[in-house]
Amino acid sequence: MSPVPSNSKSIRLLGTFALVAFGVLLASTCIQTWLSSRLLASNFISPTTWFALAGSEAQSKMTNSDPDLINLPIWLIAVPCAIIAAVTWLAGTIWLVMRRKVMWSDALIQWGWYGWVWWCLVDFWEWLWIAAGTFGFTDVVGLISVTPQFWLAGCLAGWMTTWLTLDANARSIQGADAKTVYSRWLWLACGLYIVVFTTMNWRLYFNLLVPHGDSVMYEEHLWNILHGKGFRSYLDRGLFLGEHIQFVHLFLLPLYVFWPSHLLLEASSSTALALGAFPVYWMTCRHTGSDRTALAVAIAYLLYFPMQFLDIEIDLKTFRPESFGIPLLLMTLDQLDRKNLIGTLVGMSLCLTVKEDYTLIFGPLGIWIAFRHLTESDSQNSTLHSDNPKPKSQVLAGTLLSLFSVGYLWLATRVIMPWFRSGDEVHYASYFSRFGKTPEEILHTWLTRPLSVIEVLATTETALYAIALLAPLAFLPLFAPARLAVGLPLFAILCMNELEGSRTPQHQFHAPLVAVIFWSLAAALPQASMVGHVLAQRLARKLPIKINNGSIVLGRLVLTSALATGLFFSLGPLGTPFWDAGSSWHWRRLYGRTHRSEMFARIERLIPDAARVASTDFVHPRYTHHERSYDYSEYWRKIAGDGNRVPDDTEYIVIDTDHKYSKIKQPMDVPELKVHSDRWELLPDQTEGTFIVIKRKKRDAG
């Protein structure tokens, strides 16, 4: 059956040329719309790059204010699009001719017709945007305005999946050979991820771009424990258990004894995240029966940009204990699917060392376990009172898990943490201040005023958050709604959180959701393939290829979706921010040699290890191995007597003047030198003003 209904191959070929040209035109006009608006273009490129692209017209409009709109000539977009289309169409055709031994005309028609339909769909975004504005749907317009990169990524993923399907090789690896070959590819992918992200993390540390707060402070925990100072950093008074029930990073102590460096934590974090690909592979293979699909989904996990932001956050915090939670929770869910009780309990216990909020996953998971087996018993025409004890035990296990989760969360937040905080309220109660001042008040508001909760949740920001989590996986986890609902309570809590960054997958808050989403995806693929199989069979009737397993096509779609969305969001080498010269995350700005690191090398050994040092955040990591390492900032610290000053036993102060958050730029701005010049002396400058070092005078040292 011919790809396009026609009686003449020449007419079909001419129609394919017309479709390719039409696709180039539609894609070019849509991209022109995006790049002509500074707001829309910010979804793709940095403002600096946009102004450079805008050229002289933008410069002329900058006399009074920055331009918001410019008129980019269509040829500026159409010519590159036409070149890309011509090259990829021709190269794809040559490959198909060589790979599948088909005629030139057939290869041109197949690749051109099915591939460039996706180019035509790019412009559909613009029609939706216009229609929403015409009918006054302002919220929809707002959502569409901040998601063009997802739309383009979806079209790119469809285009690449089409190519992979056309290029499908009839030969496939079977049996034990398949597991061996695919396992080797997975090890290679994980190794590449570990090397790339560990290198990036280490370069950020060497360049003084990693903050101490919420990152290197965890390495200080290990150092202080080994040196008898307790499970603490000196950011605040008291032990860290007053902040979180979080001690998974202490399992690194046996290694840390031999390599007492923050670099160990960075390498361990990247390695742990990469190894999460293996339970993803196992679960997917078990549900789909396809090693090829499992490999595609596992690599998609490594490309999944919300996971990568657990390795390097948007604010360059490169280590979080939550990174260990993703592979641990994935392993736990894998053991649960295998019905391995001991493995599941061990995994859950380890997850609770990551953070107390994993109970927000285990509580709903217990309900899911009970509900799943209730429905299974119904489908088998049995009841809880039947002779089969298994449904009863599973319902009981699920119920007990939910009750335990509630009890553990209460114990952690209402007893243990307040005890370590000398009775003070847990710090993250303030993140929900609109609902109350204490967890009890907040929960009461949620239960008695559901409309206020709905009002907070029903926002464009919530929808964007959900899209950012699901679009990289082609929204396929939605085909397993019961499993996906396990993460729904945590997702809702994050959306009600008032802390900046909690409603975007570019920080650490969403870590447990990553595991739940991939657990759902593995089970969703067989369900989605029932729909995909019908489409694949219809496609197979029109193409000279045979598609036996719809899940393979879906695996390719997941892989290409993760790759395409990462193109616009990932901070790694596969993301445009890495190469955008105007971006804050450009590789040269972050990973090349920096002036600050060169200047710090001049004073690195200036302060003796036995001294007590206060320093600003980004230079603070270099002093955690000193006798005391205090935070020098505007935050009120209990260890400094509830004041924004240094503790009385501080001997040195080091101030980084060259970081973008630094407010002190010269010695005359230092409060200690202005107010207490009789107690402090300024040491000679060796860093061209990059760092200010002051020392307590000897007569005041006591």
Token code pair at residue 508:
């650490």
Q: State how far the Cα of 532 lies from the Cα of 551, in Å rounded to an integer.
A: 7
| pLDDT tens figures, 92-131 | 999 888 877 778 888 898 899 889 999 999 999 999 999 9
Q: Which helix (H) or strand (E) holds 5?
A: none
In percent, how much of the chain has pLDDT > 70? 89
Closest CA to 617 of 588, 642, 643, 596: 596
The pLDDT value given to residue 236: 76
The pLDDT value given to residue 100: 76
Token code pair at residue 511:
């870590």
| pLDDT tens figures, 405-436 | 999 999 999 999 999 988 888 888 888 888 88
Q: State how far the Cα of 322 lies from the Cα of 218, in Å rounded to an integer.
A: 12
pLDDT, mean over the chain: 88
Q: State how far the Cα of 161 lies from the Cα of 19, in Å rounded to an integer.
A: 19
The pLDDT value given to residue 77: 92
Pairing of strands 628-631, 612-615: parallel
344 pLDDT more than 90: yes
| pLDDT tens figures, 564-591 | 999 999 999 999 999 999 999 999 999 9
Closest CA to 221 of 201, 239, 209, 198: 239
Confidence band for 522, pLDDT divided at 50, 70 and 90: very high
382 pLDDT more than 50: no
Task: Kindly state the average pLDDT of the residues 643-650.
Answer: 83
Question: Sign of the CA dihedral 142, 467, 213, 643?
Answer: positive
327 pLDDT more than 70: yes
Task: Kindly state the average pLDDT of the residues 520-547.
Answer: 70
The pLDDT value given to residue 611: 94
The pLDDT value given to residue 609: 93
Residue whose structure tokens are 């790979």: 99
The pLDDT value given to residue 9: 75
Task: Kindly state the average pLDDT of the residues 377-402.
Answer: 64
The pLDDT value given to residue 542: 53
Residue 266, classed as helix, strand or coil, is helix
Residue 556, classed as helix, strand or coil, is helix
Q: Which helix (H) or strand (E) holds 255?
A: helix 253-256
Instruction: Compute CA 337 distance to the chain's CA centroid, rounded to the nearest angstrom.
Output: 25
| pLDDT tens figures, 206-237 | 999 999 988 999 999 999 999 999 999 988 77
Instruction: Compute CA 232 distance to the chain's CA centroid, rounded to the nearest angstrom.
Output: 28
Q: State how far the Cα of 598 lies from the Cα of 523, in Å rounded to an integer.
A: 51
169 pLDDT more than 60: no
Measured in Å, how far apart are the chain's first and last C-alpha atoms? 92
Confidence band for 48, pLDDT divided at 50, 70 and 90: confident
| pLDDT tens figures, 241-259 | 988 999 999 999 999 999 9
Residue 430, classed as helix, strand or coil, is helix
The pLDDT value given to residue 394: 85
Q: State how far the Cα of 696 lies from the Cα of 646, in Å rounded to an integer.
A: 12
368 pLDDT more than 80: yes
What type of residue is 268? S
Closest CA to 148 of 30, 20, 304, 38: 30
Token code pair at residue 65:
């204010």
Token code pair at residue 411:
């114990």
Q: Which helix (H) or strand (E) holds 694?
A: strand 691-696
Lowest mean pLDDT among 117-121, 322-326, 380-384, 673-677: 380-384
The pLDDT value given to residue 384: 39
Confidence band for 62, pLDDT divided at 50, 70 and 90: very low
For 629, list phi and psi in degrees, rounded to 5.
-135, 105
Task: Look at 34 and 699; give whichever has higher pLDDT.
Answer: 34
The pLDDT value given to residue 380: 41
What type of residue is 655? I
Residue whose structure tokens are 């400094």: 640
Task: Kindly state the average pLDDT of the residues 63-79.
Answer: 76
Question: Sign of the CA dihedral 593, 596, 602, 608?
Answer: negative
